Amino acid sequence: MAAIIDGRAIAAKLRGRVAEEVVSLAAEGIVPGLAVVLVGDDPASQVYVRSKVTQTLEAGMRSFEHRLPASTSQEELLGFVAALNDDDAVDGILVQLPLPQHIDSDLVLDAIDPLKDVDGFHPVNVGRLSTGTGGLIPCTPLGCMILLDTAIDHYRGLKAVVIGKSNIVGKPVAMLLLERECTVTVTHIATRNLPDTVRSADIVVVAAGSPGLVRGDWVKPGAVVIDVGINRVERDGRKVIIGDAVREEMDHAAAVTPVPGGVGPMTIACLLSNTLRAARRRRGLPGAVREAAVA
Ligand SMILES: NC(=O)C1=CN([C@@H]2O[C@H](COP(=O)(O)OP(=O)(O)OC[C@H]3O[C@@H](n4cnc5c(N)ncnc54)[C@H](OP(=O)(O)O)[C@@H]3O)[C@@H](O)[C@H]2O)C=CC1
Ligand SMILES: Nc1nc(=O)c2c([nH]1)NC[C@@H]1CN(c3ccc(C(=O)N[C@@H](CCC(=O)O)C(=O)O)cc3)C=[N+]21
Ligand SMILES: [Mg+2]
């Protein structure tokens, strides 16, 4: 039987460590603050933003929630981000994606102060990740690595296959695996013979947004499967959330992450840990939780 990696429990532990560090920073008069900006009323985004706000407050940090109408212009949003950059109470800025069609999200991400970019999406942080020179690391990839660490002792030389090449998951998780000296293959919609490519993997990270894409016979016995996919589907007349891998077919894997309760909760815990890290860094204090979690 494959081990089920308990993302909820691991995320709760990480949030607990963040909360402890927040307490010790408070003794120095520092309270980290996270600003979350939501433009429009995408229902999934509203759910995520609510969890982020609640968990930020539970960790003892300040939360600044900004809900802007879908009609917000690009100029207005850029002005808003500039104000958050200048606000000393704000250590982290997250602009929830996707943004409405009429807004160029690359321009918005470019406008965020890299030191406050807790999503790790600014080109400076993307560059820092690719050169291995510090910076803020995207939350979902970071969460994937923390979960992988529970199942893998030695990454060096392992074959990792990443399904998906997005800027927010596929590419950065591939960079982190490469940093650990895995041999990394990044696949996407044009990849030929995806099943055979996946069959060669010791580590599979799937972030395609395609429910049930990865079948049991794609997965080598003893491989570890990290399922990033969040798909809302109807099953037996009920709305449920499932991942990109068929969990029931993964018994021969060494370990798999469930959906829900796997990568999702880690994403938010890593957001809190990045906010703490940004708060420390901005004040010239040495690093925070991340070093301990992903050495
Ligand atoms: N758990 C969490 O915290 C998070 C979960 N997610 C979830 O992860 C999934 C991916 O998110 P995101 O990266 O933003 O999505 P994107 O849609 O931006 O990227 C999906 C990627 O998967 C590739 N892809 C899609 N279908 C296939 C297929 N059948 N075969 C091979 N490759 C495929 C696409 O290829 P191509 O580029 O060629 O089109 C693309 O590179 C979604 O379900 C999303 O909801 C996302 C962020 C956080
Ligand atoms: N700027 C930006 N940063 C993001 O990090 C970002 C974003 N935009 N846009 C959307 C995606 C998606 N995302 C998730 C966060 C938490 C869960 C999560 O907590 N999932 C739980 C609950 C799932 C549920 O019930 O909906 C779970 O998987 O167990 C999932 C997905 C962050 N994203
Ligand atoms: Mg895309």
Residue range 250-262: mean pLDDT, rounded: 98
Residue 295: the pLDDT is: 36
Residue nearest to atom 45 of ligand 1 (CA): 230
CA trace torsion 35, 114, 261, 288 (10° rounding): -100
Residue 230 among known ligand-binding residues: yes
Q: Tell me which of 289 and 211 has the higher pLDDT.
A: 211
Checking if the pLDDT of 138 tops 60, the result is: yes
**In the predicted structure, residue 150 carries a pLDDT above the cut 50:** yes
Mean pLDDT over 217-240 rounds to 97
What pTM was estimated for this model as a whole? 0.97
Element spanning 161, H or E? strand 159-163
* Residue 153 near residue 163 (C-beta atoms within 8 A): no
| Measured distance CA(15)–CA(17) in Å, rounded | 5
Pairing of strands 231-235, 3-4: unpaired
CB 264 near ligand 2, within 6 Å: yes
Token representation of residue 257: 């992450």
73 assigned binding-site residue: no
pLDDT at position 249 over 50: yes
Q: Which fold has domain 27-114?
A: Rossmann fold (3.40.50)
CATH superfamily of 139-264: NAD(P)-binding Rossmann-like Domain (3.40.50.720)
User: Would the CATH topology of 27-114 be identical to that of 139-264?
Assistant: yes
CA of 82 to the centre of ligand 2 (A): 25
Residues 6+ apart with CB under 8 A from 58: 15, 19
Which residue type occupies 263? V
Domain boundaries, the chain: 27-114, 139-264
Inform me whether the pLDDT recorded for 292 exceeds 60: no
**Annotation marks residue 74 as catalytic:** no
Q: pLDDT averaged over the chain?
A: 96
Residue 170 CB less than 6 A away from ligand 1: yes
**239 tagged catalytic:** no
Give the residues across from 237 on adjacent strands: none
Residue 142 scores a pLDDT above 60: yes
Give me the pLDDT at residue 291, please.
46
Tens digits of per-residue pLDDT, 164-175? 999 999 999 999
**Ligand 1 contact, 32 CB (< 6 A):** no
Asked if residues 207 and 161 have their Cβ atoms less than 8 Å apart, the reply is no
In this prediction, residues 151-178 reach a mean pLDDT of 98
Residue 117 confidence (pLDDT): 98
3-state secondary structure of 182: coil
Q: What is the pLDDT of residues 188-224, one digit of tens each?
A: 999 999 999 999 999 999 999 999 999 999 999 999 9
Question: Is 269 within 8 Å of 143 (Cβ atoms)?
Answer: yes
Q: Which of 91, 96, 117, 227 is catalytic?
A: 96
Distance 157 CA to ligand 2 centre (A): 31
- Ligand 2, atom 12: nearest CA belongs to which residue? 48
Residue 241 in contact with residue 218, Cβ under 8 Å? no
The answer to the question of whether 203 is labelled as a binding residue is no
Angle, alpha carbons 28-128-185 (nearest 5°): 130
CA end-to-end span of the chain? 29
As a whole number, mean pLDDT of residues 136-149 equals: 98
Average pLDDT over residues 221-241: 97
Residue 293, pLDDT > 50, answer no
Q: What angle, rounded to 10 degrees, do the helices at 170-179 and 139-149 form?
A: 40
What's the DSSP call for residue 168? T
What average pLDDT does the segment 100-118 reach? 98
3-class DSSP state of 292:
helix
